[in-house]
Structures are given as C-alpha cells and as structure tokens.
Amino acid sequence: MRGLPLFLAAGLFTGVFAFPSPRIGNTQDNAANPGEQSISPGLSLSVSNRTPSQGEPVAVEVFSVLPLDNGSLFWKDGSWPLRETSPGRYVGIIGVDILHPPGPATLAAEGWRGKSRLSAVTELVVVHRAFPVQEMTLPKRLSEFDGATLKRIREEARSLEDRLARVTTPILWRSPFLPPVEEFHPENFGSRRVINGEERSPHAAVDVRLPEGTPVRSIADGTVAFAGEQFFGGRSVVVDHGGGVFSVYYHLKGFTVSEGQRVARGETIGAVGATGRATGPHLHFGVRVPGGRVDPSLLFPLPAR
C-alpha cells in the first residue's frame, strides 16, 4: 500500500469503514404527522442554513412560548432529541448526508405541552456538491481479500453500525466543537473512487497529515462508545456525544481511553499513528450527526449553542 494516497489506504474497499450509510428517505413522510404542514401557535423553528450542500451539518433552534415536554426533531428516517438551553429554547444538529439527493427536504420539530401536541415544519433545499473523482487500477492483492479477512471486515462494519445507530441521552455536546488536533488541515472529504472500473463508496471523513505521536483530543464532551483495533482503522476510538452525534478517530498510534469512559471536550484520547490500512501517519477523522455523514470541517464554524 506504500505510495497510495492516505484516504485510499484508509477506506479503500468499504464505505462502512468510514461510516455506515444511513437510510435516505423522504423526510416529509417521517414527520410526526405528515399531513400537517402548519406551525402551532407559540412554536417556531430556525436553521443555520436553508440551502445546505451534501455533507453539511445544520444547526437547529426551536423556540416555544412556554417550556415543552419531550422536544424532538424529525429528519429523514428518525426522530432526534433536542437539548434545552433555557426555558423555551431548544437546540439540535442535523446532517445532510454525503449521498442525500439534491432537492427539497422537510424538517419538523415537535413537543408536548400537557396533552397538546405542538409542531413546526420548515423546508430545506439540498444543494449538489461536486466531489473529486479518482480512477485507479490496482492488482488483485490490493483490491481483494480472502474469506477470513472479508468476514472480519463485515463483522466490524456491523458492530460499528450498531453503535452509530444508538441515540443516547443526556446530550453532552456543546458548540462550538473543538478540532481534534491543534494543526487541523483536513483533506479528501467526499472523494469518490473508481477502482478497477468499479465505483466505491465516497470517503465520508477527512484525513489530517501529522507526525506520529501528535496528541488527538475529543471534540466535545461524550462517552467512549468504542476503543479497540479494526482491520481498516487500526487502533480506533469512537465517542458518543449524545443525541445521535458521534466522532470517530482512526489509525491511532495508541489510545488512552476505554469503552464507557466519560471524556471532556479537549481531553486527549490518543495519538496520531499509522495503524490499520494506512500508508503513513495521519488522523482519519469523521463525524456523524442525526441523519448523515458530514464534512467535519463544516462542523466547527457552527454557532455557539
């Protein structure tokens, strides 16, 4: 693998290594009551961008004249909890997945006040984003695996998918998020690969080239959902920040946390390495938010919440 671009080495043969692809459906059909496109009196919904591009995170605010019970967002195939920041003010994050089709998509908010259900609905327009495409011809020894290796890859993918499907509370993240390394110069998000004429999954994370041993830190408060060894990712850490928000750190030289451990924003969780399928020292860093695999570099400019 020496000489190949880092992102190819990291996720050359499977998209679920970076993140399992979420199901993409009609958001409007998944709203609390798809027949109602009205705004309940006293409830409003605002977003940081009404025309997000593919792979973009969107900050959401919900305002209520009086406090709500069980405030939630409805986006794509799921409902996602909101975090109350002050009486009647709630925040959340959604993601436009890297493969979300361009066009209109509906976002809804819902909450209960006693026995009354309040809802607010807004429409986003997803914009196409052009990603680079790289075509490569590789020998079979680099593009195919034996049965035992394929079994391991699939088992690790299923395990990761199960972890990323969990929606936990309390919601621990707060924005702004903190870049995972001091010198954050991301590359390769969304790069499409055609290997031996076969289109592969997009690179749903970024690569950050850094010297081996560079400290890696958690981007927000959270709980370690995974800390272990993977075929593609090498020594890997996944942090659950609550409410469907996850951060992923691969190819670590080593990690200093264990599963179930609570970590704080800025806490060191490991160090840059070249473990797993990597051609050299770098951090493969990904972010998953409710509804999508997003470009981590777009997460950090989101407004403070």
Confidence at 200, pLDDT banded by 50, 70, 90:
confident
Task: Give the span between the Cα atoms of 256 and 271, in whole angstroms.
Answer: 9
What predicted TM-score, i.e. pTM, was given to this entire model?
0.87
pLDDT for 142 equals 65
| Cβ burial 195-223 (10 Å sphere, 16+ → b, else e) | beeeebbbbbbbbbebeeebebbbbbbbb
* pLDDT tens for each residue of 137-171: 877 766 778 899 999 999 999 999 999 999 999 99
* pLDDT tens for each residue of 116-144: 899 999 999 999 999 989 887 877 766 77
Task: Tell me the DSSP string of 2-64.
Answer: TTS-HHHHHHSS-GGGT-PPPP---GGGGSSSTT-----TTEEEEES-SSPBTT-EEEEEEEE
